[in-house]
Structure 1
Amino acid sequence: MIAEENKTNVNKKKKCSILFVVRLVVSPDGDIIDCVLLHHQPAFDHPKLKGQKPLDPPDRPAGHNPNGLAAEDFQLWSLSGESCPEGTIPIRRTTEQDMLRASSIRRFGRKPRKRVRRDSTSNGHEHAVGYVSGDQYYGAKASINVWAPRVFNQYEFSLSQLWVISGSFGDDLNTIEAGWQVSPELYGDNYPRFFTYWTTDAYQATGCYNLLCSGFVQTNNRIAIGAAISPTSSYTGGQFDISLLVWKDPKHGNWWLEFGNGILVGYWPSFLFTHLRDHASMVQFGGEIVNSRPGGFHTSTEMGSGHFAGEGFGKASYFRNLQVVDWDNNLIPLANLRVLADHPNCYDIQGGINRVWGNYFYYGGPGRNVRCP
């Protein structure tokens, strides 16, 4: 029944999207990128956005000086020089195979329910994170190096992201999330991909990855959310960062996302949220994996580079230049960064601070090993 239901929905999606595709780009990794008219993107299916157009860019936080490589250098689909024309956005096409891999059509594009405690391994989720809490936050920024960790099976994933969080860790949890992930179930391969996520009810019924539901309004024609990132970091070799900034526009209250060298991707409208309509009460950075305990053993799915934090630069994964946005739209250094690893024998984390990287930490690990059976 799931397969038949998926086929029906895929066919409906194809009939709908073909009407609005201005250009089609075939990525070297096999993805099909559709260039869709701005006002025909999924966000505008939302009742509160019907008939509207994307908002103009807001003021960036004070103290923000974009640096790093240009965003188009970071995605496989654009390496051939192809792009989407002005007035359109690139959307990774959801295929029939994508939907057939899902455990349920109703859960396609969503994280598992009840993943609501950051200090536990509920639902097999394990974390190695740095976080700040106890204040009012209006955004967060970090640079993250990108890897291609090995994922044991299609039911598991490995990701590195930032979370902007408000509400309790009950059913009213609000989050905005962005980073990179390897998810064979969602994408059908093991490429690291740029992703976004949001929820207002602890992953129960609201929100989704990327543009798989109405909500996030994309404004950029060069970034394809859900598309593969290239190049990636290599062990004892080159290290490649992506920079992410999420902040609340003081004028309209929406949460904007910037990727790479000052490239605005789009925004989450404030009306999507309850607690995050005002501000965040916690900001979190780090890695997460799913451990399905294959054969009763801990999974060998890797987090980050697949190496422990103690190996340091060029070997371990890192987050650097961690900052938050204050009430007056200023980027400021973190105060009282705390680090936590659910299972430090499997994945660990070590924090620090210096003049070049500001607040930073190394994190990750191989999963199953002699100390993590």
Structure 2
Amino acid sequence: MEKVGFMLFLAMILCLATLANSVSRKSIDREASEEEDDIDRRLRLLNKPAVKSIQSVDGDLIDCVDMHKQPAFDHPALKNHVIQMKPSITLPSETKSTRIKYSKPAISQTWQKSGSCPEGTIPIRRIQRQDLLRASSLEKFGKMYHPHSQDQVANSTLDENGRNVVINGTQVSLPYQKDRSQAILLTAGYHYIGASGDINVWNPNVDLPDDFTTAQIWLLAGPGNKFESVESGWMVNPKLYGDKQTRLFTHWTVDGSVATGCFDLTCSGFVQTSTEVALGSALSPISSERAQYQISVGMFMDPHTSNWWLRLTNNLVVGYFPASLFSTLKTSAVMVNWGGQVYSTMVKKSPHTRTAMGSGKYSEALHGHACYINHVRIMDYSLSLKYPGMVQVYNDEVYCYNGNNHRDKPVDEPVFYFGGPGQNNFCP
């Protein structure tokens, strides 16, 4: 009798265990199903219906999307936005005679070898499922990582967390950027409504899975660490793009990248008008010690609409960051940076990341070896391009990455060289 009771008890335990396992499996399956549903919903939101799709030889899919159905108009501030098809002024440019030094053939985007988008559409790099799965969360996909909470940034100031630079006897504070290492040329102290430069294109090594490296132009306005900014240039970012190709990028934020803004068209914001450029797509050819290539990048505020326009090589106008996104940038920027930036949790630490900046060579290597930005320019309310009256070089980690505003001859205009290998004998 006792044996029968024990067998019944054992059967009951096995039954309960089987039931618990079944409930657990159903719970896991339900969570997995919900995650799949979330990913599918996000993909439908990000990838608008295509009029035409182009398979690029580098693996990207480019969707030609109706210009009036682009991601920008998912932003609450842009629900009734009317597209400004071109700037209300002729954006300033320089004559060929002023651009002879280091002038090289225009580079192109790899996808353009495989087709083109029809008028009335814009090319958008399609976001794939694996792109979302690489992100730390769906909400953070496409965003600039920032270590702070909203409260921490709201209570901080440039003086508390900033880095001080002296320009022409005036102390200027740079916004605090944890896990960033910069080598930049900067100007501040005036009202800037534009900036441009010719950025030498390289393909630096990226070491760790979450690292990225850029060469860019960056315009900022206050307040403090909760700054507003627009930026553009080239970037190598395997976590975002899934490979180590050098790609054209844009970025914007209105709170120091805590909760707003994103790269390219991965969130609503940037309004594209060009049928020729796909933000986030690969650039080619890439510079080597045998041949140098560069891309012209400029961002200019339309004085009549306060929209910030992006212009590339050969005066190609790509689109704009709408004024309705911003508060302080509606008037002007108060600081401009040109140069390189490396993001890694292993900058300013030992062992340092091996992610490189620029060409991977220090600035002292100069032309043909180090990355450069030539024809550094700002625009003020005179609506003309000019070399900034006051500039200063700033390096976060001079033994890992550095910058050098170099003149070949005393009468020459400076060219800003920057870069570095990351971890090496001088940067352990």
Common topology (TM > 0.5):
yes
Distance 1:268 1:18 in 2: 20
The answer to whether residue 162 in structure 2 is matched with residue 162 in structure 1 is: no
Q: How many residues align?
A: 369
Q: In structure 2, what is the equivalent of residue 139 of structure 1? A: 194
The answer to whether residue 299 in structure 2 is matched with residue 265 in structure 1 is: no
Q: In structure 1, what is the equivalent of residue 337 of structure 2? A: 284
Structure 1 residue 57: Cα displacement: 1.1
Structure 1 residue 69: Cα displacement: 7.1
5+ residue gaps, structure 1, are none
Select the structure of larger CA radius of gyration. 2
Q: Tell me which amino acid in the other structure corresponds to 1:192.
A: T
Distance 1:357 1:262 in 2: 25
Residues 187 and 336 in structure 2, CA contact (< 8 A), matched pair in contact too: yes
Name the SS for the 1:162 alignment partner: strand
State which drifts further: 2-11 or 101-110: 2-11
Q: Tell me which amino acid in the other structure corresponds to 2:310.
A: L
Q: Tell me which amino acid in the other structure corresponds to 2:127.
A: T
Structure 1 residue 64: Cα displacement: 3.8
1:77–1:10 distance in 2 versus 1, CA, 3 Å: farther
Q: Which has the higher helix share?
A: 2
State the superposition RMSD in angstroms: 2.5
Structure 1 residue 334: Cα displacement: 1.2
State which drifts further: 202-211 or 347-356: 347-356
Residues 54 and 61 in structure 2, CA contact (< 8 A), matched pair in contact too: yes
Query: Could you tell me which of 142, 152, 158 is aligned with 1:109?
Result: 142
Residues 24 and 33 in structure 1, CA contact (< 8 A), matched pair in contact too: yes
Q: Tell me which amino acid in the other structure corresponds to 2:196.
A: K
Distance 2:315 2:94 in 1: 9
Task: State the Cα deviation string for residues 25-84 of structure 1 (Å, max 9, x = none).
Answer: 11111111000000000011223333544213122334544776786x41011123x011
Residues 304 and 365 in structure 1, CA contact (< 8 A), matched pair in contact too: yes
Structure 2 length-normalised TM: 0.81
Distance 1:104 1:24 in 2: 28
Q: In structure 1, what is the equivalent of residue 303 of structure 2? A: 250
Q: In structure 2, what is the equivalent of residue 305 of structure 1? A: 359
Structure 1 length-normalised TM: 0.92
Q: In structure 2, what is the equivalent of residue 100 of structure 1? A: 133
1:148–1:5 distance in 2 versus 1, CA, 3 Å: farther
Structure 1 residue 357: Cα displacement: 7.2
The answer to whether residue 387 in structure 2 is matched with residue 333 in structure 1 is: yes
Distance 1:352 1:74 in 2: 28
Residues 114 and 203 in structure 1, CA contact (< 8 A), matched pair in contact too: no
Structure 1 residue 7: Cα displacement: 3.6
Q: In structure 2, what is the equivalent of residue 125 of structure 1? A: 180
1:26–1:180 distance in 2 versus 1, CA, 3 Å: same
Aligned-residue identity in percent: 39
Q: In structure 1, what is the equivalent of residue 59 of structure 2? A: 30
1:334–1:159 distance in 2 versus 1, CA, 3 Å: same
The answer to whether residue 212 in structure 2 is matched with residue 179 in structure 1 is: no
5+ residue gaps, structure 2, are 1-27, 149-160, 164-173
Structure 1 residue 354: Cα displacement: 6.5
Q: In structure 2, what is the equivalent of residue 351 of structure 1? A: 405
